[in-house]
Amino acid sequence: MTVRTIEIIDPSTGATAKIAPELGFNCYSFRPVVAGEPVETLWAAADFESGAARASGSGIPILFPFPGRLRGGVFRFGGRDYPLGYRDARGNAIHGLVLEGPWAIVERSQSRVAGRFQLSKQAAAEMWPADFCLTLTYELLGNTLRSDLWIQNPDDRPLPWGLGTHPYFRVPLARAGAADKCIVTVPNDSYFELIDMLPSGREFSADAARLLAKGKPFAATKLDDVLTGLATADGRWEASIVDPLAGRKLTLRCDEIFPHCVVYNPAHRQAICIEPYSCVPGLSVEPGSQPGLGLRLLPPGGEVRTIVEIELR
């Protein structure tokens, strides 16, 4: 199977992005043009375009209505169990319901494309406590890839939701760069404890391995951790990768809808994932749970919008 691809282009710079609508609307290539050179910023498996690779392992998987893992592959809400199909090696559900299936294209132009996933249309409404509609617009603005995410609850029941994006950022940032010398910065001061890859709910001050606020060489990172305590300015926070040999900087910008960030080193060491999360994965949304950490509730007719930007300069 050959994966259908939609390509968008910024006419002012020549920057391009490629999106696979049938594989979770995954943007698996973003190539800004710096000093006349197209630079691939996202890592994707060599067989991604053939449809043979996991959609969760390349590009920018979209994680909704929950990012991260849910214990035992079951979501419990309102006295009912919702078994979930996509599992990790430990049998836990992982990364939501939208990252592998087909999305509907609802808008397209030279530099912009929008896709939509509605649970009751693209899958089955009974898979989650309420129907949902997630619309994602990718737009190229010079050497910036802007992602506009719009969550809607079209149901008459409250919608438990959590959102994350999972970009695989390629290192180095140029052929002349050096991956190990790239500096990774995330403005955190703490992290959440994981036990068997599931958060315990306990937060600790970041130790040397997990403190990225002052920057850490890529060579010194070996992470799969939920970082938090993110410093914001004007309601936003930034993470970055600097390639000092290439003289380039990649910046990820998010707003306060994402108070947490998972940082993950894939085993192949050709990329690093810097993943904004709206919640701590795996924590309950039921009454009495720790507020502000687990999934949130969106009332019937409610909506949430947020923007994530990736820029290379």
Six-digit token string for 255: 């707003």
Q: Is 128 exposed, middle or buried (0-12, 13-18, 19+ CB in 10 A)?
A: buried
List of the chain residues with pLDDT < 70: 1, 86, 283-292
pLDDT at 288: 47
pLDDT at 176: 79
pLDDT at 184: 98
Domains and CATH numbers, the chain: 6-312 (2.70.98.10)
Whole-prediction pTM? 0.96
Q: Do 228 and 234 contact (CB within 8 A), yes or no?
A: no
Contacts of 226 (CB under 8 A, 6+ apart): 68, 191, 192, 194, 199, 260, 261, 262, 277, 280, 281
Six-digit token string for 66: 């929950």
Tokens 């397209």 sit on residue = 108
pLDDT at 255: 95
pLDDT at 290: 57
The residue type found at 86 is Y
pLDDT at 308: 98
